[in-house]
């Protein structure tokens, strides 16, 4: 009953980092070993067998923008945490391939053993390496249809000569990790003064609406912990506490009714961004074993008034 953990995608220039976590639970699967030592056909066959037979497994994903924001070390911790959270099967020990305990800051950290070459020596870790690599390779293959010309199926994001040539010819995509040294020059220029003026005006309007939202939360009994907490790739409008629960509130303001309701702007992509921002905030502020919840608040009219509030 060992929870084996391994990662794939630490070094590529593009694509997500993926961590696999597997509890075999007595399942007998022949041929488990380091995924890199297997042929593509054999990996895919073992991937199907692992998913069908094991007691539990999970995959933790961290996208390129998240890696750029929090760095590779924190991304490995976040991906590992996301993978483990998906495993509901019982286990009495955790083994992570390598030398770093990516769960050290969590309650499970004291149950972890790190082991070099665990993906060769421990079957559950081998299984974790296989499902993580197959999942990531399949994801990158699908990106060829979205970003033709890069041939992600072939190099799966690694810095090959062909990949470098494609970047020089076509530029970068949202899959690329612009914090990695070979790609930093593609981060993009800062906007002109007109852009800055528009941004300042938009920010002033947004701040006014967020102020109204904060007062509304206070009237409900919340204590405001933070406002306008921003980093390069994510932001949180309001962080508040009520009855021991930490709330992360996204404020959406629409001045005119014909612009549509603010809550309609919470698309699945936006929801993932809000969730990532909340997870990052919790990691930075060491909010362990705390009930964390996401909310959205819609405001409209002039001056802004609260129209709706929804827990996500």
Minimum mean pLDDT range among 63-77, 93-107, 255-269: 255-269
Cis peptide leading into residue 77 (ω within 30°): no
> What pLDDT does 28 receive?
92
Give the whole-angstrom CA distance, residue 46 versus residue 35. Answer: 10
Question: Taking the model in full, what pTM does it have?
Answer: 0.65
Domain with CATH 3.30.420.10 in the chain: 2-184
Decide if pLDDT at 259 tops 50. no
> What pLDDT does 195 receive?
44
Minimum mean pLDDT range among 97-101, 122-126, 184-188: 184-188
Decide if pLDDT at 125 tops 80. yes
Give the DSSP letter of residue 267. -
**Going edge to edge, which strands form the sheet with 292-300?**
223-230, 235-242, 245-254, 292-300, 305-311
Domain with CATH 3.40.1350.10 in the chain: 193-311
Beta bridge partners, 7, equal 19
Average pLDDT on 247-257 reads 79
φ, ψ of residue 23 in degrees (nearest 5):
-115, 110
Q: Name 201's Cβ contacts closer than 8 Å, sequence gap at least 6.
A: none
> What pLDDT does 264 receive?
66
CATH superfamily to which 2-184 belongs = Ribonuclease H-like superfamily/Ribonuclease H (3.30.420.10)
> What pLDDT does 233 receive?
59
Tokens at 12, concatenated: 């590529």
192-206 confidence digits (pLDDT tens) = 444 444 443 445 555
> What pLDDT does 257 receive?
52
Which string of b and e fits 237-248 if b means at least 16 CB within 10 Å? bbbbeeeeebbb
More reliable by pLDDT, 257 or 112: 112
The reply to whether CATH 3.40.50.300 applies to domain 193-311 is no
Minimum mean pLDDT range among 2-11, 70-79, 140-149: 140-149
Decide if pLDDT at 147 tops 50. yes
Largest CA distance in the chain: 67
Orientation angle between helical segments 123-146 and 40-53, nearest 10 degrees: 120
């Amino acid at each position: 009953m060992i929870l084996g953990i391994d990662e794939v995608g630490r070094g590529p220039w593009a694509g997500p980092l993926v961590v696999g976590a597997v509890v075999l639970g007595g399942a007998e699967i022949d041929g488990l070993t380091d995924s890199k030592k297997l042929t593509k056909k054999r990996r895919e066959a073992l991937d199907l067998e692992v998913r069908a037979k094991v007691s539990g497994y999970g995959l933790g994903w961290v996208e390129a923008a998240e890696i750029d924001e929090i760095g590779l070390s924190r991304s490995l911790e976040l991906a590992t945490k996301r993978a483990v959270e998906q495993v509901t099967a019982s286990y009495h020990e955790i083994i992570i391939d390598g030398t770093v305990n990516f769960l050290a800051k969590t309650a499970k950290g004291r149950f972890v053993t790190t082991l070099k070459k665990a993906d060769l020596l421990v079957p559950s870790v081998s299984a974790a390496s296989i499902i993580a690599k197959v999942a990531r390779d399949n994801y990158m293959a699908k990106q060829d249809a979205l970003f033709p010309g890069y041939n992600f199926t072939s190099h799966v994001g690694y810095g090959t000569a062909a990949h470098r040539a494609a970047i020089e010819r076509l530029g970068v995509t949202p899959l690329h990790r612009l914090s990695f040294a070979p790609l930093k020059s593609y981060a993009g220029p800062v906007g002109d003064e007109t852009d800055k003026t528009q941004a300042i005006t938009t920010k002033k309007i947004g701040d006014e609406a967020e102020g109204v939202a904060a007062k509304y939360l206070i009237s409900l009994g919340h204590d405001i912990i933070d406002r306008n907490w921003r980093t390069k790739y994510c932001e949180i409008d309001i962080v508040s506490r009520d009855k021991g629960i930490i709330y992360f509130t996204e404020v959406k303001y629409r001045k005119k009714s014909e612009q549509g309701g603010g809550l309609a702007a919470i698309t699945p992509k936006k929801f993932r961004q809000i969730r990532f921002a909340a997870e990052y905030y919790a990691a930075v502020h060491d909010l362990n074993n705390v009930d964390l919840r996401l909310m959205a608040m819609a405001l409209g009219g002039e001056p802004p008034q609260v129209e709706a509030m929804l827990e996500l």
